[in-house]
Amino acid sequence: MRFGVESDKGRVREMNEDSYKVITGKDGIPDTFIVADGMGGHNSGELASRMAVDLSEEYLLKYLQPDESEEGIVSFICSMMEEVNKSIYFKAKESDENYGMGTTFVVGILLKGKLFIGHVGDSRVYLIRNSSLERLTTDHSYIEELIKNGSLTREEARNHPKKNVITRALGCEENVAVDTYSVDVNDEDIFILCTDGLTNMLSEDEMLSMIKNNDDPQYSCSELVRLANEKGGEDNITVIIVKNS
């Protein structure tokens, strides 16, 4: 398994409110990858996303059992994200400047020959297999709701003025609904975890082409961020690429 990671504030935002965490090489703890995209005034977005990844790491290191059943892993991910959600929610209530802060969150845990995913918001996980790219997560966004009910096409969504409006995040309410997924991991599979600062700037075809034509995941991450900035860099950009090779 090889991985690369890159995070950048982009060309428009004053600071980077994205956070990420890579947990690897720890005894008894499976390889874990986390991406979060914070939102809120002042520095609240950065605080929310940093809390999300740091608290998740603490929870993982403390409670995850490597011999957990597949159902147990899914349950663990939900419990972890629910606990993190409450921590951010109550932290936000402590001061006016942090009120309403929240963060997207996506986690991928490699265990038992599968990638187990927990997801809230519009950060994404993709799989590249046999030279084709598949999105594994479904955005919790206003745009996704319009696409689901047939009032908007994917192509129209790319330039919609409300493309950044999300309908679910960690920290915004005391309770949160967590989406979970699991996928078998095959030889040569490539997984991408990223924030919308990447996917709003680059098409999925552009992402696939860049990653497919470069063997080094770190180089691919850096090039994807460079391209997103070249196309405007309208938001913070974070990408993790994991190669099972």
Residue 14: which domain range? 2-243
Beta-strand runs (E) in the chain:
2-8, 18-23, 32-39, 102-103, 105-111, 114-120, 124-129, 132-135, 179-184, 190-194, 237-243
Of 53, 104, 45, give the one whose Cα is nearest residue 80.
Answer: 53
Which parts of the chain have pLDDT scores under 70? 42, 161, 163
In this prediction, residue 161 carries a pLDDT of 65
In this prediction, residue 67 carries a pLDDT of 85
CATH of residue 188's domain is 3.60.40.10
C-alpha 221/C-alpha 216 separation (Å) is: 9
198-230 per-residue burial string, b: 16 or more CB within 10 A, e: under 16 = bbbbbeeeebbebbeebeebeebbbbbbebbbe
The pLDDT tens digits for 58-72 are: 999 999 987 889 999
Domain total of the chain: 1
C-beta separation of 203 from 210 below 8 A:
no
**Sign (positive or negative) of CA dihedral 40, 46, 49, 51:** negative
Q: How many helices (H) and strands (E) does the chain have?
A: 7, 11
pTM here? 0.95
